[in-house]
Amino acid sequence: AQKITQTQPGMFVQEKEAVTLDCTYDTSDQSYGLFWYKQPSSGEMIFLIYQGSYDEQNATEGRYSLNFQKARKSANLVISASQLGDSAMYFCAMRPNTGGFKTIFGAGTRLFVKA
């Protein structure tokens, strides 16, 4: 079954520190995409970062990086130098190549950044 697992319902991090949000995925596809989205308290969904399954280097976008470990089927999000505005819900998602072109989401991790 194709699935995304986020095992951390909530996390705290001190402002200016780095934090890692965990994500594991399950698929038998060889080609797939992995994503992270941010949902602030205002409710909108914001795309953060994308990693293709054939990409050899970890994706980076500003303070966000995706720690992609294909053999372990993990796609952790690393936020460096946390800011108060990073407090939000974060969703890991996968776009497999089979199964109807759906994007599958994890349950999310709520991040709290402390001043």
Partner 1 sequence: EAQVTQNPRYLITVTGKKLTVTCSQNMNHEYMSWYRQDPGLGLRQIYYSMNVEVTDKGDVPEGYKVSRKEKRNFPLILESPSPNQTSLYFCASRRLITGELFFGEGSRLTVL
Q: Which of 50, 58, 73, 78 binds partner 1 (CB under 8 A)?
A: 50
Rule CB under 8 A: say whether 33 interacts with partner 1.
yes
Rule CB under 8 A: say whether 52 interacts with partner 1.
yes
Rule CB under 8 A: say whether 106 interacts with partner 1.
yes
Q: What is the 3-state secondary structure (H, E, C) of 43-112?
A: CCCEEEEEEECCCCCCCEECCEEEEEECCCCEEEEEECCCCHHHCEEEEEEEEECCCCCCCEECCCEEEE
Q: Residue 18 and residue 84: Cα distance in Å, rounded?
A: 12
Q: Which of 30, 85, 100, 115 binds partner 1 (CB under 8 A)?
A: 100
Rule CB under 8 A: say whether 37 interacts with partner 1.
yes
Q: Which residues bind partner 1 (CB under 8 A)?
A: 4, 9, 33, 35, 37, 43-45, 47, 50, 52, 91, 93, 95, 100-108
